[in-house]
Copies of this chain bind each other. A is one copy, B any other.
């Protein structure tokens, strides 16, 4: 458990052929320092000019940006295998903060050492490039969610996506997973108010699509969830129509 390689091969298949697990890249790195953080503890400080890159070993973390009035936008959730702060370490300045959502264990590497390693070890660049590229694609998905999907679609979409990532990391079972984040945090990721998110979740629960409760997500109707996740803002009022306060299943 202290061994990086151990968690790097946490994936179900054992080998990380798809490269989905960023940790695989980092397993090659020297001079990693193992660190632990408690929930809500700051891992990366926004604006830090000498940041560290991290390889998350266990637990959940999240990156965020704070606005002048205290409003927060959560940019990404990090699960074991992710490498928070990678881009920032390469640029030499943290553009966003990162906090632990649960108790976490992470391996850290100072930015300058990362850059040095990249210079000296040509084999390291490829996996880091892939990690960054995947991050870029994930960010695109987020932009589509925030810009063009309804609150319901956005919510379902993100929860499905998290499920897929956890699945690949071997941390999901059947059609559900442990999701140790508060509605407030999720709302800040979805660009919604916590209150509205709560209503959205209630509706999804009452309609038998999914339950988000007590740290767990369960998809009661995965197929419908996937359909909902793809709908856009003013999509056919088919899947999630107008008025029914208490819903009716698929309906006529």
Contact = CB atoms under 8 A, between A and B. Distances in A.
Contacts of A67: 144, 148-149, 230, 232, 235
A200 interface: no
Given A140-B139, A147-B73, A132 B68 contact: no
Contact of A144 (B73, B86, B233, B235): B73
Given A88-B133, A140-B96, A235 B191 contact: no
Contacts of A119: 122, 126
B232 A69 contact: yes
Nearest to A67: B232
Contacts of A35: none
Contacts of A90: 129-130, 133
Q: How many copies does the complex hold?
A: 2
Interface residues of A, number: 49
A133 B136 CA distance: 9
Given A125-B125, A128-B129, A132-B132, A87 B137 contact: yes
Contacts of A230: 67-68
Contacts of A86: 133
Query: Which of A65, A134, A136 counts the most B-chain CB atoms under 10 A from its CB?
Result: A136
A73 B148 contact: yes
Given A91-B134, A146-B147, A65 B140 contact: yes
Interface of A: 65, 67-69, 71-73, 75, 86-88, 90-91, 95-96, 115, 118-119, 122, 125-126, 128-130, 132-137, 139-140, 142-144, 146-149, 188, 190-191, 230-236
